Amino acid sequence: MNQEALKVLEARRSCRAYKPEQITEEALQAVLKAGTYAPTGMGRQSPIIIVVQDKETIHTLSRMNARIMGNPEADPFYGAPTVLIVLAAKSAPTYFYDGCCVMDNLLNAAEAAGLGSCWIHRAKEEFESDEGKAMLAKWGVQGDYEGIGHCILGYREGDKPEATPRKENYVYYVR
């Protein structure tokens, strides 16, 4: 049994405060590789990952996301210097689940790489908008994709929170 892998899964916490410095290319590539090895229905690999490290683009995405959540003054990306956007091709019947598996791999790989991370929602609404569609076109993304989520990455500012206690009756056995 790989105890180190289990420790990573148990230690991961959402990060909502980031240092301004950019993550290393080595850490980024390790996280991305893990994302590409996520399970997908029938091995179709329906998701794609868009790496955004340009501050202006992150600001635009943050503004769009905040507007969708109804709080235009917020920064839903918490100052993270890297945003990974996961989209999945709607032609695959399992596209949503495939994209969620990619998100999970990205988050857990970030923990293993010593990075803070958080899953930020509203990518679906962002990339259904005219502004979002224009961004995808500008980036050369073609196809009928749905936004699954944003995995924000960076170096954690401050201490990692403790895990909340696991709820009772989380697991049921039928043996």
Q: What is the domain-level CATH number for residue 80?
A: 3.40.109.10
Does residue 105 sit within a domain?
A: yes
Does residue 164 sit within a domain?
A: no
Are 35 and 77 spatial neighbours (Cβ–Cβ below 8 Å)? no
Burial code (b: 16+ CB inside 10 Å, e: under 16) for 102-122 equals bbbbbbbbbbbbebbbbbbeb
| Structural domain boundaries, residue 46 | 16-154
Does residue 174 sit within a domain?
A: no
Burial class (CB in 10 A: 0-12, 13-18, 19+), 6: exposed
Does residue 107 sit within a domain?
A: yes
pLDDT tens by residue, 72-123 = 999 999 999 999 999 999 999 999 999 999 999 999 999 999 999 999 999 9
Number of domains in the chain: 1
pTM of the model as a whole: 0.97
* CA-closest candidate to residue 86, choices 116, 51, 57: 51
Ordered per-residue pLDDT tens for the chain, 175 residues: 899 999 999 999 999 999 999 999 999 999 999 999 999 999 999 999 999 999 999 999 999 999 999 999 999 999 999 999 999 999 999 999 999 999 999 999 999 999 999 999 999 999 999 999 999 999 999 999 999 999 999 999 999 999 999 999 999 999 9
Does residue 143 sit within a domain?
A: yes
